Structure 1
């Protein structure tokens, strides 16, 4: 009957990890406030929409795309950006311009990283958090940690199930034993499925109130069709219809050195 000990271990891991995830998802969630429920999605700026939908890097992508559309930056599919107008109209644009070198050229990823880490983005996140629309950092970390714990428990269950097949079973058939181990596995996989549904696509950054605003905006704007800035704010770079811009904003850390014209 050694397999029973393995089963108890599997159940302990499943119950503790699921309880941890549930606690993180409920206790750390920001309380519903009058300010959060009073918001309408039309009151959000595109920068705020981008943060709620994709976090600081989405804000940086939106900043670069907005400057490109106003002919203030040139983005190339090689992953480099060139300054055309060195005057920033808002703190985020100034943060982007500060990331460029003296020659006015820089890899897109370097500019994106600088903007995402800028104080202006932190201030934006703080305002959304105070309004009850964005999750605080500790809440995001708690949910992520809870999900990892449940995944670990799922792996533990599989290991315990495999171990139970190689120890004396006391007459119990392998099928009978596996049926018992299936129960805690169903629990953990069910928790992971629920967490995925609840977190898709916004809850890594947006609170439930923020998610509702994003859903309303997405529904009203028809997933941002015809409005590239709205599409990128809500869905990210993959929503861009222009393949050159999509390639420019999707390049890696260094980009590709632009080819020099030969004379």
Structure 2
């Protein structure tokens, strides 16, 4: 009866994951039903950046905006140098503060520090209050779906392990497989229902926020226009940066992050 010792955790993993998914979906549906204020909201550049890529995207678009205005130099080597120390808004002042009193720093730590600034947190709170950004509980829908997928894989692995054990004389292997198919059917059924019934929540934007971001991008107009250019960067990320030197600067940022993570590992 060793297979029962594997069946019990299979049911526990599947049941817990599916319960969390159902609760997260219910909270998300309740919030969507009550959040209507954001439909007529006109997104700012920073708001579009947050809804598209979160706090780090806000830092990226701030860096690109300041660099194009020649108030910040982003070298192709991955360094940021302050040219104009007077920030025009809270986001720019956060970036300048992250660079430090020396006026020069690597881009990667500047981006990380600026993304964690109070101004970005206040922006996130405003967007959540307007029903445009997803709060932590709603954001957990995507995380709950991932947990159910992992639970399905775990049930399969436990089932294979149970079938590999010596089976009792009075228990056919087919019956053991059928017992494990029940928690597997539970997880797969929850995933199927979620795919049909629950909105495909992005990591940062609510369905209303996603629609506003899409409309903003469609209305961006001429790519040569500064506003349209920065809007594209806010929505698509630094991959939309057109200048080779700026792209090289952010490419160095990714290399720095990779090297830093390897050292920590």
Report TM bin, short chain: 0.7 to 0.9
Say if 1:107 and 1:253, in contact at 8 Å, map to a contact too. Answer: no
Say if 2:75 and 2:249, in contact at 8 Å, map to a contact too. Answer: yes
Q: Does 1:244 align with 2:245?
A: yes
Deviates more, 1:203-212 or 1:6-15: 6-15
Q: Does 1:35 align with 2:37?
A: yes
What are the within-5 Å matches in structure 2 for residues 44-123 of structure 1? 44-123=43-122
Aligned to 1:260: none
Partners of 2:122 and 2:181 lie apart in 1 by: 47
What are the within-5 Å matches in structure 2 for residues 166-177 of structure 1? 166-168=165-167, 170=170, 172=172
Partners of 1:195 and 1:67 lie apart in 2 by: 42
Shift of 1:144: 5.6
Point out where structure 1 has 5 or more consecutive residues left out of the alignment.
256-263
> How far does the alpha carbon of each residue in 1:155-213 deviate from its partner, in whole angstroms, 9 at most, with x for none?
32023211221231646356x7557645644653575688799786x621111211221
What are the within-5 Å matches in structure 2 for residues 194-209 of structure 1? 203-209=202-208
TM-score, reference length from structure 1: 0.78
Aligned to 1:259: none
What are the within-5 Å matches in structure 2 for residues 167-246 of structure 1? 167-168=166-167, 170=170, 172=172, 178=177, 181=180, 184-185=183-184, 188=187, 203-221=202-220, 227-246=228-247
**SS of residue in 2 equivalent to 1:126:** helix
Partners of 1:50 and 1:191 lie apart in 2 by: 32
Say if 2:53 and 2:204, in contact at 8 Å, map to a contact too. Answer: yes
Say if 1:56 and 1:116, in contact at 8 Å, map to a contact too. Answer: yes
Say if 2:167 and 2:173, in contact at 8 Å, map to a contact too. Answer: no
Partners of 1:108 and 1:195 lie apart in 2 by: 40
Aligned to 1:22: 22
Aligned to 2:153: 155
CA shift in 2, pair 1:107/1:7, >3 Å: same
Point out where structure 2 has 5 or more consecutive residues left out of the alignment.
258-265
Corresponding residue pairs, total: 248
Partners of 2:254 and 2:192 lie apart in 1 by: 31
Partners of 1:244 and 1:89 lie apart in 2 by: 24
CA shift in 2, pair 1:58/1:103, >3 Å: same
Higher-helix-fraction structure? 2
Shift of 1:225: 5.6
Q: CA RMSD in A?
A: 3.3
Partners of 1:19 and 1:231 lie apart in 2 by: 39
